[in-house]
Structure 1
Amino acid sequence: MSRVLLTGGSGFIAAHVLDILLQRGHRVVTTVRSQEKADKIKQAHSSYGKDKLDFAIVEDIAKEGAFDKAVISDPPFDAVIHTASPFHFNVTDVQKELLDPAVIGTTGILKSIKKSAPTVKRVVITSSFASIVNPFKGNWPEHTYSEADWNPITQTQAVENPANGYRASKTFAERAAWDFVEKEKPNFSVSTMCPPLVLGPIVHYLNSLDALNTSNQRVRDLMLGKGKEEIAPTGTYLWVDVRDLAESHVAAIEREAAANKRFFVTAGYFSNKEIAQVIEKRYPQYKDALPTASTPGGDYPPEGVYKYDNKRTSEVLGIKWRSLEESIADTVKSLQAVGA
């Protein structure tokens, strides 16, 4: 089994990646921003000794050389899964708070691996549908998105607002990774994962309802009655369950065929209205808080939406997609565990 460096170990996606790595017998070192986070993760996985699960503290991924020490290990690493990235919209300086950390964090870890971890053969990077989608085309029903698509956002557009900045940060960081591979010709392969909205159960020991990942906030809000008068617009109509996404990351270090490929990791369509319907069906106790059949909003647009092609992920990584109903039911259960 491989020895794996997992960055951003306390994140929503990384926590599930960690579970799968440990279940499959991989030995993991995960980076966290603080000792307190390391202690929480360690406590939750107390049956694993230091040889199976260890930690490296990287306080700021956007610092030059941030990962230089973390990539050095005895025994040495075989693979790196890089999930750490900034994601929030409450920014005042898009360049400094979104673009730089994403790009420097991604190229920084690749440089550190090339310089100091010659045994690493596989690197998997969490990117996003944000680096595939063309935000200027709207719902674009005649188009089918796949790994061949790139968000055409420019540097000028990127700094106009935080929403553009977030999409651009994902696009620029992923492009920088592929540029690095092309120019530097490292002795490791790169695979990138491009998920749209990520739903699914939270890992309770890392979460409170206030610190919820952005995607799952819509589930919490519906449970709390915030869609009673009007359901919020869905926004992105594609989703994936966090466990299927985590499985994709791990499959990419285990399967030769995943090397140097980009993966569009999506289970298909959803709407906020459908999420509300699943909650009502599986958890009737929330009926009074939820919207009714006649509540406006949260549905698909009448003109339809873009199509998607997720064949590569299904075939190369062997992913069997969870249903929206299973995902939302498990999400609600996990939110109840932290007080919803």
Structure 2
Amino acid sequence: MAKVLLTGGSGFVGAHILNTLLERGYSITTTVRSSAKGDKILASHNLHGSKLSYVVVNDIADEGAFDLAVRSTPSFDYVIHTASPFPVEFTDPVKDVLTPAIKGTIGILRAVKSHAPSVKRVVVTSSFAAIVNPAFSPKIYDETSWNPVTWEQAVADRSLAYRGSKAFAEKAAWEFMEKEKPGFDLVTINPPLVYGPVAHHLESLSGLNTSNQRIRDFVQGKHTGDELPPTGTFLWVDVRDLALAHVRALEVSAAGGHRFFTTAGHCSHKRIVDAIRESYPELSYRLPKNPIDDFPEDCYGYDNGKVRDILGIEFHSLQQAIRDTVASLLRF
């Protein structure tokens, strides 16, 4: 079976991609930031033996960070790049957010071109952040939509730094493909909020991905009033469907050269609270009794037809995703 280099395999999304790859018989090397993280991955998948290994990449923004990682015997056939910074708190938007995202993405593409000529395709995890236009939302978001944020705006407004990092990194990847014309093709995957069960190692629930923190806070009774915190982004995807989309992007020849807006549909905090209550009525005392729904009547639409038609993804329902997410959180 083919061999895959997966960057960021210890992360929330990366761990699910790793599981999906193993289930489908791939041989995998994953990058991690420390041997401790790599050893935990191996320990949790000890039945897979020689099919799984890791390599330490301390800082993806370093020059040549992936040069050693992409070299392998036998050679890699594919690369999935999920590693990208998403710091909740940061000091310098350029140094801590923008530059690492861009350099990490270009770094993996350059390393593959220079040192891994066997690679046929690279799949990069981008984001709805590279698509969304908060100021002037179109009626329908799809793969033709791009976030118009400028570098100056991303540097000046801390709230735009992450969105800018994803937009700039993805644009840089497509520009690299156009200018460098490497021997592999590129696919980008653009998810919005990502919910779903935890598959990676966590010391505590404080280390949850940002999207799942919302569900954690409801389960822990942190929002008992009827007025909920703003939903912000009204689109979501189950992490298991997102992981499968990454793997199918390797397997489907027609996927090459495409962006995929990987969303299951609309959501809101009220819908999440209702889903928790329906699956876990015993938690009702921790939940708002009459939560106010902030889902707008004129909310933007979405078109996920490419993901369904080309990658063959059938999405979990919000009810299924929230039920399984809460089940995984209650284990802590």
Tell me whether the two structures share a fold, i.e. TM-score over 0.5. yes
Structure 1 SS opposite 2:144:
coil
The one of 315, 322, 326 equivalent to 2:316 is 322
The one-letter code sitting in structure 1 at the alignment partner of 2:257 is N
- Please tell me whether the aligned partners of residues 235 and 263 of structure 2 are also in contact (alpha carbons under 8 angstroms): yes
Q: Which sits farther off after the overlay, 195-204 or 321-330?
A: 195-204
**What residue number does 2:7 align with?**
7
Separation in 2, partners of 1:204, 1:272: 25
Q: Against the structure 1 CA distance between its residues 204 and 17, is the aligned structure 2 distance closer, same or farther, given a 3 Å change threshold?
A: closer
Separation in 2, partners of 1:90, 1:205: 22
Separation in 2, partners of 1:21, 1:212: 22
**What residue number does 1:49 align with?**
49
The percentage of counterpart residues that share the same residue type is: 55
The one-letter code sitting in structure 1 at the alignment partner of 2:184 is F
1:73-130 CA distances to partner (integer Å, 9 max, x unpaired)? 0000000000000012311100110000000000000000000000000100000000
**What residue number does 1:310 align with?**
304
Separation in 1, partners of 2:70, 2:229: 43
How far 1:292 moved relative to its partner?
A: 1.0
Asked if 1:202 corresponds to 2:198, the answer is yes
- Please tell me whether the aligned partners of residues 204 and 334 of structure 1 are also in contact (alpha carbons under 8 angstroms): no
How far 1:156 moved relative to its partner?
A: 0.7
Asked if 1:278 corresponds to 2:278, the answer is no
1:262-313 CA distances to partner (integer Å, 9 max, x unpaired)? 00000000110011111111111211110112x33x4302x42101000000
Asked if 1:27 corresponds to 2:21, the answer is no
Separation in 2, partners of 1:154, 1:332: 38
How far 1:160 moved relative to its partner?
A: 1.8
- Please tell me whether the aligned partners of residues 15 and 200 of structure 2 are also in contact (alpha carbons under 8 angstroms): no
Asked if 1:333 corresponds to 2:327, the answer is yes
How far 1:17 moved relative to its partner?
A: 0.2
Separation in 2, partners of 1:313, 1:206: 30
Moved over 4 A (4+): none
The one-letter code sitting in structure 2 at the alignment partner of 1:330 is D
The one of 294, 301, 309 equivalent to 1:299 is 294
- Please tell me whether the aligned partners of residues 40 and 206 of structure 1 are also in contact (alpha carbons under 8 angstroms): no
Separation in 2, partners of 1:337, 1:187: 45
Structure 2 SS opposite 1:135:
coil
Separation in 1, partners of 2:135, 2:55: 40
1:139-177 CA distances to partner (integer Å, 9 max, x unpaired)? x4x611100011000011011233200000000000000
- Please tell me whether the aligned partners of residues 128 and 193 of structure 1 are also in contact (alpha carbons under 8 angstroms): yes
- Please tell me whether the aligned partners of residues 10 and 201 of structure 2 are also in contact (alpha carbons under 8 angstroms): no
Separation in 2, partners of 1:195, 1:162: 21
The one-letter code sitting in structure 1 at the alignment partner of 2:214 is R
Asked if 1:156 corresponds to 2:152, the answer is yes
- Please tell me whether the aligned partners of residues 189 and 261 of structure 2 are also in contact (alpha carbons under 8 angstroms): yes
RMSD: 1.0
Separation in 2, partners of 1:204, 1:65: 27
Unaligned runs of 5+ in 2: none
- Please tell me whether the aligned partners of residues 90 and 162 of structure 1 are also in contact (alpha carbons under 8 angstroms): no
Separation in 2, partners of 1:200, 1:42: 22
Separation in 2, partners of 1:180, 1:71: 18
Compute the TM-score of the two structures, normalised by the length of structure 1.
0.96
- Please tell me whether the aligned partners of residues 121 and 188 of structure 1 are also in contact (alpha carbons under 8 angstroms): yes
**What residue number does 1:83 align with?**
82
The one-letter code sitting in structure 2 at the alignment partner of 1:91 is F
Q: Against the structure 1 CA distance between its residues 193 and 204, is the aligned structure 2 distance closer, same or farther, given a 3 Å change threshold?
A: closer
How far 1:193 moved relative to its partner?
A: 0.2
The one-letter code sitting in structure 2 at the alignment partner of 1:321 is F
**What residue number does 2:143 align with?**
147
Asked if 1:107 corresponds to 2:106, the answer is yes
Compute the TM-score of the two structures, normalised by the length of structure 2.
0.98
Structure 1 SS opposite 2:330:
helix
Separation in 2, partners of 1:243, 1:80: 19
Separation in 2, partners of 1:207, 1:23: 25
How far 1:204 moved relative to its partner?
A: 5.2
Separation in 2, partners of 1:148, 1:207: 39
Q: How many residues align?
A: 331
1:218-256 CA distances to partner (integer Å, 9 max, x unpaired)? 000001112211311110000000000000000001110
The one-letter code sitting in structure 2 at the alignment partner of 1:279 is I
